[in-house]
């Protein structure tokens, strides 16, 4: 973040005029905050209106009602339009409504928050009272903020009304969604407010056509809980999807079956992005927002950037919002990327570990290495030779009387892939 200060003197003769104070919008701006102060030269108070334009249109006007405003790609102060913060010449707009005879000076402060890659965490599978959930949208926001989630996808069953009334005045990135719910499987359509005109299907051909329609509209497709005991994906697996939900709600045998299937597919040479989602509907001791949490390494804090990073596989899953994190690196390549390496060492790092956590590394040959954590932060170099991929899991012993006494995963990474050709 950095800040600039602009000053504009306004004379009595400019009363009733609209004035511009130009400034350059830097590249890779994620958010701007504009505030102004009117400094009078005498005892009479001047009234100066406030607004802003980009290089092609007025983006907002609040008159004398506000002393500050902000703009981002997806949100803005009421009275202002969210949207692209494209580089170029912008201008703060001033209106000389009532100017003292001695004139005044307007001091304008602009803060630029720059886009920079970092990790964002959230929940990609939730329900509200717009379908069969119990939570209002305001309650969803409150819970997400409580767990310090950065984003949340509302994926109500076969409806999109929630996408048009998500509360704006908060810091949560809302990802528009719909859970395409059929008698033979569920999948999420993410990133588009109204991805299909009709959800009803009665055959595999119709289901695949509906998924194709959503994808054509720009939606990211996630196959949900494909090995669920109650609602598995029974349509063709040849459907064009972007991700698979390998972790749905609390860890259970259904998730383990999907994890095993995913490992098999990766070993066959397929590149499949794994994600998680709580599938929360109502208050429950174990099914809660952010349990599990999907982490995304994104260039920006907006839906488009987050979903682009998700498509690239720059993501890992944890059992809760506060849990061990994982990083796999080979030079400038990370999870989801393909590195050109036939033989070499992959740098790995874990934070938030508990003593006794089991750290496991998998390749297409199966379990490649296992370590027991002795410290909160652990780093390892994993040697690979002619492998297709490397991924990591962290397992922890949970002992809750009368509930569970077992090792369960707390972190699952996506793979870093290898091109072993010379």
Tens-digit pLDDT profile for residues 381-406: 999 999 999 999 999 999 988 888 99
Specify the residue for token string 């929360």.
Answer: 280
Query: Is the pLDDT reported for residue 275 higher than 70?
Result: yes
Query: Is the pLDDT reported for residue 90 higher than 70?
Result: yes
Query: Tens digit of pLDDT for each residue in 221-274?
Result: 999 999 999 999 999 988 999 999 999 999 999 999 999 999 999 999 999 999
Q: Are the C-beta atoms of 381 and 349 separated by less than 8 Å?
A: no
Q: Which domains does the chain have, with CATH numbers?
A: 2-114 (2.60.120.380), 118-419 (3.20.20.140)
Q: With cut-offs at 50, 70 and 90, classify the pLDDT of residue 303.
A: very high
Mean pLDDT of 298-324: 98
Residue 402 gets which letter from DSSP?
T
Q: What percent of the chain has pLDDT over 90?
A: 95
Q: With cut-offs at 50, 70 and 90, classify the pLDDT of residue 415.
A: very high
Coil, helix or strand for 163? helix
What is d(CA 66, CA 399) in angstroms, rounded to the nearest whole number? 54
Average pLDDT, the chain: 97
Query: Is the pLDDT reported for residue 156 higher than 60?
Result: yes
The residues with which 44 forms a beta bridge, in sequence order, are none
Query: Do the bridges between strand 389-400 and strand 404-413 make them parallel or antiparallel, or are there none, so unpaired?
Result: antiparallel
Can the peptide bond before residue 292 be classed as cis, meaning omega within 30 degrees of 0?
yes
Give 196-261 as a DSSP string.
-S-----SHHHHHHHHHHHHHTT-EEEE-STT-SSS---S-TTS--SEEEEEESS--HHHHHHHHH
Instruction: Give the per-residue pLDDT at 420.
Output: 76
| pTM value > 0.85 | yes
Residue 310 gets which letter from DSSP?
H
Q: Are the C-beta atoms of 7 and 105 separated by less than 8 Å?
A: yes
Query: Is the pLDDT reported for residue 422 higher than 60?
Result: no
Buried residues in 337-371 as b, exposed as e (16+ CB within 10 A): bebebeebebebebebbeeebbbbbbbbeeebeeb
Q: Is 33 exposed, middle or buried (0-12, 13-18, 19+ CB in 10 A)?
A: middle
């Amino acid at each position: 973040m950095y800040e600039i200060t602009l000053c504009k003197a306004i004379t009595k003769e400019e009363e009733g005029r609209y004035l511009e104070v130009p400034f350059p919008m830097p590249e890779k701006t994620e958010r701007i905050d504009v505030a102004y102060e009117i400094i009078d030269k005498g005892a009479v108070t001047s009234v100066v209106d406030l607004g802003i334009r980009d290089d092609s249109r007025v983006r907002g006007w609040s008159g004398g009602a506000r002393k500050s405003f902000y703009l981002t790609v997806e949100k803005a102060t009421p009275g202002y339009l969210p949207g692209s913060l494209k580089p170029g010449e912008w201008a703060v707009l001033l209106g000389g409504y009532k100017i003292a005879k001695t004139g005044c000076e307007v001091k304008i402060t602009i803060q630029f928050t720059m886009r920079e890659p970092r990790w964002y965490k959230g929940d990609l599978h939730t329900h509200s009272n717009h379908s069969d959930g119990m939570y209002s949208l305001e309650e969803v926001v409150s819970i997400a903020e409580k767990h310090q989630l950065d984003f949340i996808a509302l994926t109500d069953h076969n409806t999109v009304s929630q996408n048009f009334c998500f509360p704006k005045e908060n810091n949560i990135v809302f990802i528009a969604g719909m859970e395409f719910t059929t008698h033979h499987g569920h999948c999420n359509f993410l990133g588009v407010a109204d991805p299909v005109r009709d959800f009803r299907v009665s055959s595999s051909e119709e289901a695949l056509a509906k998924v194709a329609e959503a994808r054509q509209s720009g939606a990211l497709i996630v196959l949900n809980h494909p090995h669920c005991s109650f609602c598995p994906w029974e349509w063709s697996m040849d459907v064009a999807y972007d991700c698979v939900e390998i972790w749905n709600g609390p860890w259970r045998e259904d998730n383990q079956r999907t994890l095993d299937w995913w490992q098999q597919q990766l070993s066959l040479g397929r590149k499949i992005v794994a994600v998680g989602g709580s599938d929360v509907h109502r208050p429950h001791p174990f099914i809660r927002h952010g349990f599990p949490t999907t982490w995304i390494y994104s260039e920006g804090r907006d839906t488009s950037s987050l979903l682009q990073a998700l498509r690239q596989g720059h993501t890992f899953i944890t059992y809760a919002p506060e849990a061990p994190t994982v990083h796999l690196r080979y030079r400038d390549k990370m999870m989801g990327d393909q590195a050109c390496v036939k033989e070499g060492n992959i740098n790995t790092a874990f934070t938030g570990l508990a003593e006794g956590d089991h750290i496991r590394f998998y390749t297409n040959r199966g379990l490649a290495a296992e370590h027991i954590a002795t410290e909160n932060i652990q780093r390892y170099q994993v040697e690979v030779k002619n492998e297709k991929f490397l991924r990591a899991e962290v397992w922890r012993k949970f002992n809750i009387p009368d509930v569970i006494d077992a090792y369960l995963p707390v972190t699952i990474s996506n793979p870093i892939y290898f091109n072993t050709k010379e």
